[in-house]
């Protein structure tokens, strides 16, 4: 039976790691979900909001946003902040041309003097700073044969790749994985107009939109990774910026041993594989055609 938590049709995902990490994962039967604070790529999930946009530009964009809401009020105002919603609903009920002109003039003056209207930018930044340490992300990918990923994430071919089965009966966590997108144009939240949209959106939805874009979009340079992510939040017992979640033995589908893995690590990992009854073991090699080849490993 298909799990109600399944968001895709994939059968499995892959996780690249060093031999030392693979040994720990297999021994503890757990994967580490990390806060973005631990990511080694500073261009990944941003630690700070505003993305280099000057406040004056945001305030002027906010004036344009409010003017548009007054001139063309939306049918559904449920996503707006309470104050903005109150104004827009009043406009929808009908106000005199003179009052509308006064509102619009006030918005122009506010933008000209840099007095922000709507939700506080500092308040949103503070919420973001508080949220990032609590946020947890598990990064996975679609294939065990990414050359660059073998080099960067497995200690230069000396590590391993673990394959995790998307098991509906076990309600595997990775059933909820979502693909990262690599848009050629930066999302709207990286612009002043995007910020204006956020500042007129109620807190919960604004943060949800921020998390969605920050987590599931990356620069096109990273598109070769074909990355998927799953998110969660810290447990009350966590004392650091990560959470180690256990997985079921049946969820481990395959272990791929790197072409340059030291024999001692190879023996240790093959031995640990005995604890996983449904796992396949594969030895990776690089042929004369410079492509990966997989050979089944016998544990007998």
Strands 292-296 and 227-233: unpaired
Average pLDDT over residues 50-71: 80
Q: Is residue 113 in some structural domain?
A: no
Q: Is the pLDDT of residue 48 over 50?
A: yes
Report if residue 248 sits inside a domain.
Answer: yes
Residue 77 lies in a domain: no
DSSP result, 64-100: HHHHHHHHS--S--TTB-HHHHHHHHHHHH---HHHH
Residue 211 lies in a domain: no
Range 226-252 average pLDDT: 95
Q: Is residue 49 part of a domain?
A: no
How many CA within 13 A on the CB side of residue 148? Answer: 7
231-252 average pLDDT score: 94
How many whole angstroms separate alpha carbon 203 and alpha carbon 200? Answer: 9
Q: Please give the residue range of the domain that contains residue 176.
A: 12-41+134-186+219-296
The residue with greater pLDDT, 252 or 219, is: 252
pLDDT at 215 over 70: yes
Number of independent structural domains in the chain:
1
* 8-state DSSP, 51: T
Residue 246 domain-assigned (yes or no): yes
Task: Give first-to-last CA distance, the chain, whole Å.
Answer: 34
Residue 175 lies in a domain: yes
Least confident of 8-22, 172-186, 196-210: 196-210
Residue 276 lies in a domain: yes
């Amino acid at each position: 039976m298909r799990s109600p938590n399944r968001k895709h049709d994939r059968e499995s995902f892959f996780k690249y790691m060093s031999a030392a990490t693979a040994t720990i994962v297999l021994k503890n039967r757990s994967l580490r979900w990390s806060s973005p604070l631990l990511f080694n790529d500073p261009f990944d999930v941003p630690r700070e909001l505003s993305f280099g946009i000057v406040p004056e530009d945001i305030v002027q964009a906010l004036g344009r946003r409010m003017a548009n809401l007054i001139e063309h009020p939306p049918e559904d105002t449920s996503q707006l902040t309470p104050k903005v919603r109150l104004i827009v609903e009043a406009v929808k009920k009908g106000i005199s041309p003179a009052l509308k002109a006064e509102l619009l003039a006030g918005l122009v003056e506010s933008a000209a003097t840099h007095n922000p209207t709507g939700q506080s930018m500092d308040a949103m930044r503070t919420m973001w700073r508080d949220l990032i340490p609590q946020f947890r992300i598990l990064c996975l990918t679609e294939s065990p044969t990414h050359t660059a990923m073998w080099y960067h994430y497995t200690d230069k071919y000396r590590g391993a790749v673990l394959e995790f089965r998307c098991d509906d009966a076990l309600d595997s966590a990775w059933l909820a994985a979502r693909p990262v997108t690599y848009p050629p144009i930066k999302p709207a939240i990286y612009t002043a107009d995007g910020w204006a949209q956020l500042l007129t959106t109620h807190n919960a939805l604004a943060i949800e939109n921020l998390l969605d874009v920050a987590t599931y979009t990356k620069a096109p340079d990273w598109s070769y990774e074909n990355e998927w992510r799953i998110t969660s939040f810290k447990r009350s017992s966590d004392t650091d910026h990560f959470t180690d979640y256990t997985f079921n033995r049946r969820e481990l589908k395959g272990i791929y041993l790197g072409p340059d893995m030291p024999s001692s690590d190879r023996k240790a990992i093959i031995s640990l594989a005995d604890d996983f009854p449904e796992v396949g073991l594969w030895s990776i090699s690089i042929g004369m055609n410079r492509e990966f080849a997989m050979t089944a490993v016998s544990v007998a």
